Structure 1
Amino acid sequence: MSDVVVAGIGMIPFAKPGASAPYHEMGTEAVKLALADAGLGYEKIDQAYVGYVYGDSTCGQRALYPVGMTGIPIVNLNNNCSTGSTALFMARQMIASGALDCVLAVGFEQMKPGALGSVYTDRPSAFEEFDAVADQLIDAPGIPLALRYFGGAGLSHMKKYGTPLDAFAKVRAKASRHAKNNPLALFRKEVTADDVMNDQVIWPGVMTRLMACPPTCGGAAAVLVSERFADKHGIGKEVRIAAQAMTTDTPSTFKAGDMMQLVGYDMAKEAASRVYESAGIGPGDLDVVELHDCFAHNELITYEALGLCGEGEAGKFINDGDNTYGGRIVTNPSGGLLSKGHPLGATGLAQCYELTRQLRGTAGATQVEGAKVALQHNLGLGGACVVTLYKRH
């Protein structure tokens, strides 16, 4: 397995439901931007992986045919909120194994307003066992599914380590400070921790509205190539995927009796461990991280799962400013899902977009000075977690 070059990236501004173009137009535009960034025509693409959660089969073809109809394999993927990085994972595998030289990964989502819910209610849900465990661990009648899971995980951390509610508010405030410099983010208004604490309460003592990411529409894409392809076509090789791991749930998800495990803490920890070992580095070598902050609660517990700080030390990590500019590791310079938005299929590739720009040194107002090593964490309940390590060469 060899390093994989990130040749081109593309992302469109994220928008509220009802304010975006249709899904296929968002996907088409993101792909065109990625191809232009790589300096390549669609005819050079060997294969494409397309991710989305809410859509019919072959929506990928609907989005890619306006770009070109070359007859290549187009694989449609759905892995919940980790869908975009799953497309990236598959694309990277094809390049790293030597099977292909130029692969496209694209993700998009056209979402509806409101909390996430099941679409197919006439058959067993993928979350039946998750719900059964959650019902045993927390008493939160009437709280929507995702809020119950991640709020419950935050509540677990609060009980274990004495984490105050305002720690989550500080995470959300940090996200807004970062997003104000990102023209592609959905919410660019800066808010304070007090603003977050005083916002609408959606779970007393656990969560306010601003601690949750909004439903969002958008698209993002990446073109990955082999080193030999890059050399042949004069493509810059400065940003590469040096290591990547994908994990799914283990028995601890259901048997640990902990909401943090139920929302993927062990998945993230294991994926990160594999990546660090493969790359021969540790979390202390990271300059910038884009992680899956679908809720402020998940960002806080993920600091610990990724080893950015020790277990039970996330509150101090936040209070010391080690999660932002001037601190140890800048997390979510894009504003993250909390401020940038979370169009499920596009999120993982939007993270790739931000980190590639960071390592190129072209991130503009969100730039982390001297960034050379970047980590991406993308999580989907049900479940799957993808952790990707990028290096600048």
Structure 2
Amino acid sequence: MTKTIVAGVGMTKFAKPGASETYDVMAEDAIRQALKDAGIGFEDIQQAYAGYVYGDSTCGQKAIYRVGMTGIPVVNVNNNCSTGSTALFLARQAIEYGIADCVLAVGFEQMQPGALASVFTDRPSPFADFDTTCDALVDNADIPLALRYFGGAGKSHMDKYGTTLEDFARIRAKASRHATRNPLALFDKEVSVEDVMQAPVMWPGVMTRLMACPPTCGGAAAILCSEDFARKHGIDSRVQITAQAMTTDTPATFDARDMMQLVGYDMTADAARQVYEAAGIGAEDVDVVELHDCFAHNELITYEGLGLCPEGGAQKFIADGDNTYGGKYVTNPSGGLLSKGHPLGATGLAQCYELTGQLRGTAGQRQVEGAKVALQHNLGLGGACVVTLYQRA
């Protein structure tokens, strides 16, 4: 197996639905940025993986053809909210196992306003078993389903460990502080814990509006290559993917009768374990983390799933400031999904964009000093979780 180099990255600034370019234009922009960053041409790309959730078949070709039509394999990827990192996972495998020397992963999403909803209603839903379990565990049938899932997971943590609404508000306030340093953050206004607590209530005692990420539109891309290819083309090879794992659900997702498990806690913990073992390091060696904060609640339970703190220790972790600058880790220096927004297909690759900049030392005002090890976590219900470990060579 060969080492996998992150040769180039690109990302558009995310936008509210109706205010963005079309998906193909956003994807083209991200790809061209990544090519420029890598210092290569599209003719050097040997394979491409294109991730999106809401779109017709072969949207990947439509987007990539705007950059070039060289006859290479283009694989369209859909894995719910972990789509972008699934494209990255496939691209990394192609490099690591010597199938190709230079591969593109691109993700994009042109979303509709409002809560996520199924498109095909004339066939069994992939969420049917999840919905049945959620209905049995969560009474609040009047709120949107995604909110029920992640709010329910947060409530499960509250019931088990005494977590408070203010703990989730501290996470959202932290995200906003980080976002003020990120020119690509859609929501770059700092909000206080009090602002979050006083925002419109979506679930009494469990969630306010500011604790949920908004649907957005955008594109992001990464070009991966082998060491030999990087050497031949004079590519910056400082940032490498040294371990990566994808997990899916096990029977415990439903059998545990716990909303934390239903939204992927076990998938996260298993993927993180695999990654640490493969890299020969522990969570304590990580410097910076981009994790899937679709809701502040998911960020909190993911601290524990990734091993950043013990189970039940998230409240102290937050109170001690170990999730931000000056603490043990900096989580979501980009501002995360809570501040950037969440265009499903682009999210995982936007995380790659941020962490590559952090390890190169080019993240500007949000730079994590001395960052050498970075961890990425991207989660999709239904379900799939991808955890990726990057290291600076």
Aligned to 1:276: 276
Q: CA separation in 2, counterparts of 1:3 and 1:375? A: 17
Aligned to 2:227: 227
Q: CA separation in 2, counterparts of 1:114 and 1:196? A: 20
Aligned to 2:129: 129
Q: CA separation in 2, counterparts of 1:145 and 1:192? A: 27
The secondary structure found in structure 1 opposite 2:222 is strand
Aligned to 1:112: 112
Q: CA separation in 1, counterparts of 2:256 and 2:143? A: 22
Bigger CA drift: 207-216 or 117-126? 117-126
Structure 1 consecutive aligned stretches of length 4 or more whose deviation exceeds 2 Å:
none
> For each residue in 1:114-139, what CA deviation from the matched residue of structure 2 results, as whole angstroms up to 9, or x when unmatched?
11111111111110000111111110
1:387 is the counterpart of 2:390: no
Aligned to 1:153: 153
The secondary structure found in structure 1 opposite 2:391 is strand
The secondary structure found in structure 2 opposite 1:220 is strand
Amino acid at match of 1:389: L
1:181 is the counterpart of 2:146: no
Amino acid at match of 1:88: L
Amino acid at match of 2:278: S
Q: CA separation in 2, counterparts of 1:238 and 1:266? A: 32
Q: CA deviation at 1:79?
A: 0.2
5+ residue gaps, structure 1:
none
Aligned to 1:191: 191
> For each residue in 1:300-339, what CA deviation from the matched residue of structure 2 results, as whole angstroms up to 9, or x when unmatched?
0000000000000000000100000000000000000000
Aligned to 2:355: 355
1:79 is the counterpart of 2:55: no
Q: CA deviation at 1:236?
A: 1.4
Q: CA deviation at 1:2?
A: 2.9
Aligned to 1:296: 296
Aligned to 2:237: 237
> Which structure 2 residues correspond to residues 14-25 of structure 1 after superposition, within 5 A?
14-25=14-25
The secondary structure found in structure 1 opposite 2:68 is coil
Aligned to 1:168: 168
Q: CA deviation at 1:240?
A: 0.2
Amino acid at match of 1:378: N
Aligned to 1:256: 256
Q: CA separation in 1, counterparts of 2:310 and 2:3? A: 30
Q: CA separation in 2, counterparts of 1:214 and 1:365? A: 24
Identity %: 75
The secondary structure found in structure 2 opposite 1:310 is coil
Q: CA separation in 1, counterparts of 2:300 and 2:392? A: 27
Aligned to 1:368: 368
Q: CA deviation at 1:263?
A: 0.1
Aligned to 1:102: 102
The secondary structure found in structure 1 opposite 2:104 is strand
The secondary structure found in structure 2 opposite 1:374 is strand
Amino acid at match of 1:105: A
Q: CA deviation at 1:99?
A: 1.0
Conservation of the 8 A alpha-carbon contact between 2:24 and 2:66: no
Amino acid at match of 2:242: A
1:265 is the counterpart of 2:286: no
1:3 is the counterpart of 2:6: no
Conservation of the 8 A alpha-carbon contact between 2:135 and 2:141: no
1:335 is the counterpart of 2:322: no
Q: CA separation in 2, counterparts of 1:157 and 1:38? A: 43
Residue-pair matches, total? 393
> For each residue in 1:276-298, what CA deviation from the matched residue of structure 2 results, as whole angstroms up to 9, or x when unmatched?
00000000000000000000000
The secondary structure found in structure 2 opposite 1:275 is helix
Amino acid at match of 2:334: S
TM-score by length of 2: 1.00
> For each residue in 1:150-194, what CA deviation from the matched residue of structure 2 results, as whole angstroms up to 9, or x when unmatched?
000000000000001110000000000000110111100000111
Aligned to 1:205: 205
Aligned to 1:36: 36
Amino acid at match of 1:344: L
Q: CA separation in 2, counterparts of 1:3 and 1:113? A: 41
Aligned to 2:138: 138
Q: CA deviation at 1:3?
A: 2.0
Amino acid at match of 1:39: G
Aligned to 2:50: 50
The secondary structure found in structure 2 opposite 1:33 is helix
Q: CA separation in 1, counterparts of 2:146 and 2:161? A: 23
Conservation of the 8 A alpha-carbon contact between 2:275 and 2:389: yes
Q: CA separation in 2, counterparts of 1:2 and 1:235? A: 16
5+ residue gaps, structure 2:
none
Q: CA separation in 2, counterparts of 1:352 and 1:55? A: 23
Q: CA separation in 2, counterparts of 1:187 and 1:112? A: 18
Amino acid at match of 1:122: D
The secondary structure found in structure 2 opposite 1:241 is strand
